[in-house]
Amino acid sequence: MCGIAFESQAEGKDLFDNQQAFRSEQALITVGIRSNVYTYQVHNLGGAPIVGFEVPQFAAYNFQTPDGWEMDISGRAFRAWSGSPDAGIAPGRTAEFSMRVSSKGAVLGQGRAELKIASGRTIELPDVWCPIAEPRSHIALVAGVILAIVLFHSLILILRKRRGRESGVTA
């Protein structure tokens, strides 16, 4: 499902079970997450076409843009742009961008989305939902908890063995 949608997210309809809207004076981005697919619905609230879209990404693939848009997925950003203002997101219209995220260390995070206007201006929306690399502190925490469980389990087994021997000697 790609291309320009004609329904306005400003009407308050929930399109996804897990979604969040991010608004500026000139644009509204609704981010929906279903399974491992991040979908960005960009609604133009301004007076000039939106001709560029950029959002951070990690471990993503299967990028989708509206018809007539080009994209660059190198690095840590999903960038897309229209070839001309006519192919951009017209005022009052909505377009959809999406990406599928692998489970190799990507987690839900926040990043800055940038939308380019035909006039050359940039709209920045901070803290938009996007896939980010799992922080190393989380990995270390999980490893530490697993180690603590193994040690605690070993301690319980040792104490049970001792009690079994002590009860066997006194009987």
What was the pLDDT predicted at 105? 76
Cβ burial of 44 (10 Å; 0-12, 13-18, 19+) is: buried
Q: How many whole angstroms separate alpha carbon 29 and alpha carbon 139?
A: 31
Residues of the chain with pLDDT under 70: 1-16, 135-140, 168-171
Among residues 128, 126, 125, 115, which one has the least CA distance to residue 51? 115
What was the pLDDT predicted at 2? 40
**Interval 31-79: pLDDT, tens:** 999 989 999 999 999 999 999 999 999 999 999 999 999 999 888 999 9
